[in-house]
């Protein structure tokens, strides 16, 4: 193998995550069983126009079909799911088929859910092509589609057979999509603290030099390893895995109320600042950390404020659809400092209202 490569073994589902530069064209060398399998690549039209030829070149001796869908979050729905089922059935794909998800989190989530449900489950491989999907969405086996405006409401826990993160794919990302990935990276820094937080403080300080490939491979690998740690401890999110939702109670409500306004990573960035502000208002997080988090989000080119046009009551009402609700109570992930996050179900309504209003742009 010519490519630069780091490998992470995941016990849960026993699969490997490969992070490297140029690995897309070496898939079959690295995963020889692909040679004899029947494969369907699921991608979106945009990603396929950029990266499908490279993938197909690497899979040259295999039996490969391709299905492309329209890009974007609004297509992560039942209709697209049914279109994929139709294609699989009409073309007589059987249970020995392997689906390859070539794209961002949208393609990964819907292809994974197809794999979890088609003929009671077939194998799938994640080939994430956005930074967000490489550090987060492709890992951990959460698969889903949206239901109306409600995010990820229909889904399954279903682990991939492998994850292939090729840095080369990131070269064609529009700046906004690349930056959105940093929303989840900052989340990992806040969850893990320690060395990752220190590195991020450096990378996300004004005037820092851009990351080179080796630095980026290392960062993607570190985020993947943190996520794998949470997933292995609690695969079905019955306890500690819930912490990975830091910022997401706000983010999912924002995405539902304003479909297509933000990329997921942008909504997460606003959610992280909101969670930090809530922690500060509850006298848990010192103001110095709140300011630092805000600066990092801004330096990453991401939004941090809830827009003034949003009605705080509507946002809080939308949070009632959150999947973390237990015994009728909303649960928030709060933080005392980077590396020290916890779940809190007793956030007073007036403090929440205050935060949602004061996080708003003037």
Ligand X SMILES: NC(=O)c1ccc[n+]([C@@H]2O[C@H](COP(=O)([O-])OP(=O)(O)OC[C@H]3O[C@@H](n4cnc5c(N)ncnc54)[C@H](O)[C@@H]3O)[C@@H](O)[C@H]2O)c1
Contact between 44 and ligand X (CB under 6 A)? yes
- List the one residue from 3, 50, 66, 284 that touches ligand X (CB under 6 A): 50
Tell me the number of residues near ligand X by CB under 6 A: 32
Select from 88-96, 169-177, 200-208, 231-239 the region that touches ligand X (CB under 6 A).
169-177
Our CB check for ligand X shows the closer of 40 and 251 to be 251
Contact between 48 and ligand X (CB under 6 A)? no
Our CB check for ligand X shows the closer of 89 and 153 to be 153
Which positions from 136 to 155 touch ligand X by CB under 6 A, shown as an x/- string? xx--x-x--------xx---
Contact between 166 and ligand X (CB under 6 A)? no
Contact between 109 and ligand X (CB under 6 A)? yes
According to DSSP, the residues that pair with 344 across neighbouring strands are 332
**Measured distance CA(16)–CA(28) in Å, rounded:** 14
**Measured distance CA(306)–CA(270) in Å, rounded:** 7
Our CB check for ligand X shows the closer of 140 and 189 to be 140
Our CB check for ligand X shows the closer of 173 and 356 to be 173
Q: How does DSSP classify residue 184? A: H
Cα 8 from chain centroid (whole Å) = 18
175: buried, middle or exposed (CB in 10 Å: 19+, 13-18, 0-12)?
Answer: exposed
- List the one residue from 58, 105, 160, 247 that touches ligand X (CB under 6 A): 105
- Report in angstroms how near the CB of residue 284 gets to ligand X at its nearest: 25
Which positions from 325 to 354 touch ligand X by CB under 6 A, shown as an x/- string? ------------------------------
Contact between 264 and ligand X (CB under 6 A)? yes
Chain positions 170 to 209 lying near ligand X, rule: CB under 6 A, are: 172-173, 177, 180
**Euclidean distance between the first and the last CA atom of the chain, given in angstroms as a whole number:** 54
Q: How does DSSP classify residue 362? A: -
Would you state the structure tokens that stand for residue 261, as one six-digit string?
Answer: 């306004």
Our CB check for ligand X shows the closer of 21 and 151 to be 151
Q: How far is CA 244 from CA 68, 187, 283, 352, in A?
A: 30, 8, 22, 20
Neighbours of 229 (CB within 10 A): 13
Contact between 46 and ligand X (CB under 6 A)? yes
Which positions from 58 to 97 touch ligand X by CB under 6 A, shown as an x/- string? -------------xxx--x---------------------
Select from 129-137, 272-280, 312-320, 353-361 the region that touches ligand X (CB under 6 A).
129-137
Contact between 21 and ligand X (CB under 6 A)? no
C-beta contacts of 330-334 below 8 A and 24+ residues apart = 330/249, 331/242, 331/249, 332/249, 332/275, 332/278, 333/242, 333/243, 333/245, 333/246, 333/247, 333/248, 333/249, 333/275, 334/275, 334/278, 334/279, 334/282, 334/284, 334/285
Cα 328 from chain centroid (whole Å) = 26
- CA triple 187-304-228, angle to 5 deg: 10
Residue ranges that bind ligand X, judged by CB under 6 A = 44, 46-47, 50, 71-73, 76, 103-107, 109, 129-130, 132-133, 136-137, 140, 142, 151-152, 169, 172-173, 177, 180, 263-265
């Amino acid at each position: 193998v010519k490519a630069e490569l780091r490998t992470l073994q995941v016990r849960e589902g026993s699969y490997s995550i490969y992070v490297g530069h140029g690995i897309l064209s070496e898939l079959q060398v690295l995963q020889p069983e692909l040679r004899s399998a029947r494969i369907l690549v699921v991608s979106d039209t945009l990603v396929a126009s950029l990266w499908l030829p490279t993938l197909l070149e690497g899979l040259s001796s295999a039996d490969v079909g391709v299905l492309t869908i329209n890009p974007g979050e609004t297509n992560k729905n039942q209709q697209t799911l049914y279109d994929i089922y139709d294609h699989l059935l009409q073309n007589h794909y059987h249970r020995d088929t392997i689906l390859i998800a070539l794209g961002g989190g949208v393609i990964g989530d819907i292809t994974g859910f197809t794999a979890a449900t088609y003929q009671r489950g077939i194998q799938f491989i994640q080939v994430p092509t956005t930074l967000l999907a490489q550090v987060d969405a492709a890992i951990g086996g959460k698969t889903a589609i949206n239901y109306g405006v409600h995010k990820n409401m229909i889904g399954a826990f279903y682990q991939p057979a492998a994850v292939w993160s090729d840095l080369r794919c990131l070269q064609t990302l529009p700046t906004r999509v690349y930056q959105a990935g940093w929303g989840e990276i900052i989340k990992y820094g806040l969850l893990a603290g320690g060395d990752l937080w220190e590195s991020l403080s450096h990378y996300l300080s004004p005037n820092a030099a851009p990351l080179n490939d080796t630095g980026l491979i290392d960062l993607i690998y570190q985020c993947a390893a943190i996520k794998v740690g949470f997933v292995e401890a609690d695969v079905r999110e019955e306890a500690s895995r819930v912490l990975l939702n830091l910022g997401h109670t706000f983010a999912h409500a924002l995405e539902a109320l304003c479909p297509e306004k933000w990329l997921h990573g942008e909504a997460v960035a606003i959610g992280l600042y909101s969670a930090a502000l809530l922690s500060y208002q509850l006298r848990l997080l010192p103001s110095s950390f709140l300011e630092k988090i805000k600066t990092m989000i801004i330096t990453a080119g991401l939004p941090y404020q809830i827009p003034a046009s949003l009605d705080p009551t509507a946002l809080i009402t939308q949070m009632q659809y959150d999947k973390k609700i237990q015994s009728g109570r909303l649960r928030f992930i709060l933080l005392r400092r980077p590396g020290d996050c916890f779940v809190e179900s007793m956030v007073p309504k007036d403090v929440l209202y205050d935060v949602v209003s004061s996080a708003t742009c003037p």
